[in-house]
Structure 1
């Protein structure tokens, strides 16, 4: 079953509306509804907050402010991952960023709560906020570590000497904007108090983190906090940790002893769940005339919130991608009074590769060399900074196969040299790399007397196909047809996982499930072969075959259900995956996924309108659990890359710190009309160092480098090099060649 293009087993539930998301649960009965009131300044203090008018509005049960909010636990800054930290809200009169919650209004209906929220009177003493990244970009500090615990800076050889002596040099500054995750399902929570217990139906990516975070905030025993998240409508990083809607719903529910629902509006999502930091990236490449890199440096400055530090690992990918004897990477932070930075769709790799792969294209142009050949020429034999071998690296294969399939040999040799009617046509490409991560995960598998298997874990399915691939792994591991496997996910009472995120969810949960099935097979065979009532009694289990719901040894067989029904104990086993820091493979090898992107664009010769014509990605991700869901994931990532290259940009008002375009009318993302012919191809591979199944992360690899392929295609079409992303009409139009005017 592993490797088959099985349809999503949860597809019928979603297609018929029976898959309940956080805001759609009704188990608690008729709830009250909460609506968040956000600050209308970006920095300062509340001097007065009047709730009398709101409280007298029909249907209102409670108005929470910092004056009457329950005491909350502080954030534990020593925690390795902040998703498990307390997330206190309404803790005082200070305002740290625009839109920060200053009140929660709870009423009988959502309409009543929203109406009353508009009646909360808040007066402020506004302070001078730091909102403009460019203004404060030089006021930087050095973080201790960057995201995922990676080192802030690295240095190999003597970069200055290597760069200064290089025959060809590229030294450019690239800037990326604030970006947001924006899943279809906004962040939401239904909180139900049950005596001293608290049940949270919440949209989250990591159940255990949500449980710990709420418990720490409300000063509760974590065992009394029950998280339920069977279906999550996308996350993309925005739901790795919980946010104010969950804490406020929980506080209101415990105060009122009633179930309370709170969901963020789309506009509130922009201000309250964090975003990808704006970055300024200096990339320096030094090379010999034959294209071999002698020096590479990637220096990043990005925004952070002054109270909650976040350093995206933007330069980290550069450490493993290309060979060069002299190397330098660094990360610096500029504190701004804006919402905190957070993980957004391939954090670090997405903005970092947009800059580095654009710089590589600039180097290819300066050398007069084919961009594919330049990358192949700089393929390292071992990880160039860690000095360890790669576990399984097929980047060159991806580059060559992608070039062949795309027809790269037809690429215009000179920029702005091909025109079809009104359109200037260009090709672009880039490499892709993303680190593979592993986290502590447990999965329990039980066989029932009716011959079915139940797979349990608090692992989440954020639309990526977790239910389906776990079904495949268990069906293969126990010799059952898929319809005899039931998957139970997303509840805090189930075995703990690292959840969905960082492209680690599938491999962690499937590896743990596979190990559980191996242990369960052994127990099943021991029970059958040791039972005098079984036709398999006394036979050698070494030759057993599990298939079609039965166990067969030679010519003798018995149904799995019959074996289980005779057992006096439950027939179950648990499989585990340990943290990667405790796995020697992660210290002995450089473990990554790889790919290559190719794009063709048309640029209107008069208006500079950019249209994606076609796009191809070729990837190496180890063993594939499900080709259908894998291809879907990769294409989705590639579309993200198109958005980053051409459209996505959250714009901050430098006077208030508010996002000017805080809805999906102003914040542009690709729609169907923008995306035409996009395809993803996966090469056969198996990485036994990544895990026993040989599989690696898929979800975010598609976005790594894909934007750069589009940007490079725009240059090839027009001769205009844009380094301030996204590439928009007004940035291309002034530089269009005279022949196109």
Structure 2
């Protein structure tokens, strides 16, 4: 069949939902007006470890408008059935079972919930609940000596070649310890849930990156069939990974609605977001590497320790970059989680890979300096044509081109090689580079496509949009595949009644849901063409299917402009109110023929005050091999947003815990610093042209939301070293480290 003209895909179009968002008409979870809803406020534990010995709720219940105070003393027993499909990779252990016992596992753990007619009454009453504890000394510090490691998990070890021997024989050796602080997502929209029971059926409005994951988890918790739960989430105000699983507040809202018989709205406060949902865990990353004097790597040994909760053991892909990013013949790795009395970590943008990149890319920079080799040249000397971890060729690996294009655009040739050699008044100027990668993930997805007799199309899939622009990119794909103008296509998402979709995470939405949308639209277009060429009343009657394309809602024979008709006339003449198909995408079941990753190179220039140690990022550039770009404007937005987040990780963001009682002392946006406009410099993103990766997905995309975040922090850290001559191995890089 003739390829469809591409009018929308590849065009820098504005968001189709942009006007709704800027005018305040987009309904986020807490915005939904559910008739008769009452308000719930969670009471969190003030200790990090121990047992509840008493609960005094008399003062709370005496407040006007207060309906119930629910705790482990009176909450119904919940089923909490196993649900392996509730998360992409369920952590090993037992998820927190709210109000099912008197145990306290972390500071801020929900120990009660107040339900009242108004939010103000619920908040006031929550402060009046008095909880007594038998507290124990918690363990919350990853750096404390003699901490246990992850006995419940199988060893996360890897080895190829003989890394210890390779290091011993290497001409040049380097050993360093890198520490990364815990980082929280801090999205604009707080987590929220509205729950309503209609008999034995539960309807939930939830901030989630996976409506069907929430559906399955709540069904498992309450012991009801999944089709008895409906989850609705049309808009998500940012999440960056922490809305990909169900957290205790969603269960609490549904539990409170069942107990009271009323719809319940529960919105976490900004403070509660620091212990009510997950975060990027803290890491200690020890790296030893050896090379010859030309900078060619001989071996690497990685020792990784990550914090996790004591009741669940969270793992992420931190080991992968060290196995495949460079042509290193000898590699050894250990990965240990350290169970602490904290809530469970979770995925955060570039999960695992962003952590590993800081260690690997900083160490490579250190080695380059030791050997007197340009940092870009150092990386080029260790490039590889195939994945060293499995021997497979890369589907595409244009990392050399990313570095070359970036070096030209960033004017790397003007860089003075020696650290501390460039000044601008009181400011020391430095530039740094780091590369990054991220696995190309795909999961099965479906999309329903309907073409109505008025020539408009509706496409639906139970996906999510936490900000990257799913509404827009799917509309672009559908418009071109159906041959319609964008304004004639509506894409809907965020309802568990819609066709199945995987989590909106891991940069897999475009490859998975987008491929399903493409399949459904292609099949519907072919159905319409088949109807036309077999219809004696159609100007296209008798034409070959492969000679027909659709543009602007008109079916036309290629090369014969007189033979054309609209979708509307075709359906009316055939007495059809609509055409409808279900598109699908299923990743290949056979072993992969290639290793699939997106790649990128990030360049940063910083200025460091020579007397005060203050760091300012002056400019940043990212160059990416991310496959076919469906929506350039959205892609640029993704990259710029990731750079802002990476600046935060590098220079500002960290959680401060009082290890005496496990309390997070900066659980607010005053003391937990995130980048503001004054911290954000000139940012630029370049996506390499012509990079469609058909091994990765039928539509040629790789996914780009994660890779753009991976190399940012190490690029900044390397630039700080070049500016000052001082290597800082701990994130964030603080003023104190540079004084």
Task: Provide TM-score, normalisation by structure 1.
Answer: 0.95
- Give the Å deviation of 1:87: 5.8
Answer yes or no: is the 8 Å Cα contact 2:36–2:262 preserved in 1.
no
Q: Give, in whole Å, the separation in 2 of the partners of 1:127 and 1:182.
A: 30
Mapping for residues 39-58 of structure 1, pairs under 5 Å = 39-58=45-64
Equivalent of 2:25, from 18, 36, 41?
Answer: 18
- Say which of 652, 655, 668 aligns to 2:657: 652
Cα displacement string for residues 384-431 of structure 1 (whole angstroms, at most 9, x for unaligned residues): 111110000000100111111101112221111222211111111111
Which of 575, 578, 583 in structure 1 is aligned with 2:586?
Answer: 578
| Contact kept in structure 2, 1:458 and 1:499, CA below 8 Å | no
The aligned counterpart of 2:624 is 619
Query: How well do the aligned residues superpose, as a CA RMSD in angstroms?
Result: 1.6
Contact 2:95 2:312 (C-alpha < 8 Å) held by counterparts: no
Contact 2:453/2:576 (8 A) holds in 1: no
**Distance change in 2, residues 1:191/1:401 (3 Å):** same
Distance (Å, rounded) in 2 between the aligned partners of 1:273 and 1:303: 15
Report what 2:634 is aligned to: 629
Residue 148 (structure 1) aligns with: none
User: How much does 1:570 deviate?
Assistant: 4.6
Corresponding residue to 1:109 among 118, 123, 142: 118
| Map 1:259-270 → 2, pairs under 5 A | 259-270=263-274
Alignment partner for residue 162 of structure 2, among 141, 158, 174? 158
Q: Once the two structures are superposed, what CA deviation does each residue of 1:436-471 show, in whole Å capped at 9, x if it has no partner?
A: 101121111111111111000011111111110111
Residue deviations 1:558-610 (CA, integer Å, cap 9, x gap) = 11122234355851122222256x254xx221100011111111110110011
Instruction: State the distance in 1 between where 2:337 and 2:400 align.
Output: 35
Name the residue aligned to 1:70: 76
Q: Is the 8 A contact 2:44 2:111 kept in 1?
A: yes
CA distance in 1, matches of 2:349, 2:75: 34
Tell me how far apart the structure 1 counterparts of residues 516 and 370 of structure 2 sit (CA, whole Å). 49
Q: Give yes or no for the alignment of 1:452 onto 2:456.
A: yes
- Tell me, what secondary structure is at the counterpart of 2:599? strand
CA distance in 1, matches of 2:458, 2:383: 45
State whether structure 2 residue 438 is matched by structure 1 residue 434.
yes
Is 1:98 aligned with 2:107?
Answer: yes
Q: Tell me, yes or no, if the aligned pair for 1:211 and 1:225 is still in contact at 8 Å.
A: yes
Q: Quote the Cα distance in structure 2 between the aligned partners of 1:573 and 1:297.
A: 52
Deviation per CA, 1:287-322: give whole Å up to 9, x if none: 111111111222211111111110222121221100
3-state SS of 1:251 partner: helix
Q: In the superposition, relative to structure 1, how do residues 211 and 579 fare at CA in structure 2: closer, same or farther (>3 Å)?
A: farther
Q: 1:389 to 1:382 in 2, by over 3 A?
A: same
User: In the TM superposition, what is the alpha-carbon distance from 1:76 to its structure 2 partner?
Assistant: 2.3
Match of 2:542 in 1: 538
SS at match of 2:663: coil
Is residue 451–residue 561 contact of structure 1 (8 Å, CA) maintained in 2? yes
- Secondary structure at the aligned position of 1:266 is classed as coil
Cα drift, residue 536 of structure 1: 2.5
Partner of 2:4: none
Whole-angstrom CA distance in 2 between matches of 1:403 and 1:154: 34
1:216 aligns with 2:223: no
Alpha carbons 2:80, 2:223 under 8 Å: kept = no
Shift of 1:511: 1.0
Alignment of 1:135 with 2:167, yes or no, is no
Q: Choose the corresponding residue for 2:348, options 344, 349, 374.
A: 344
Q: TM-score, normalised by structure 2?
A: 0.96
Identify the residue that residue 275 of structure 2 maps to in structure 1: 271
In the alignment, does 2:11 pair up with 1:4? Answer: yes
Query: Of the candidates 422, 447, 450, which is equivalent to residue 418 of structure 1?
Result: 422
Judge conservation of contact 1:412–1:716 (CA < 8 Å) in 2: no
Q: Secondary structure at the match of 1:572?
A: strand
One of 670, 677, 690 as aligned partner of 2:696: 690
- Say if 2:150 and 2:313, in contact at 8 Å, map to a contact too: no
CA distance in 2, matches of 1:279, 1:301: 6
**Residue 541 of structure 1: how far off its partner (Å):** 1.7
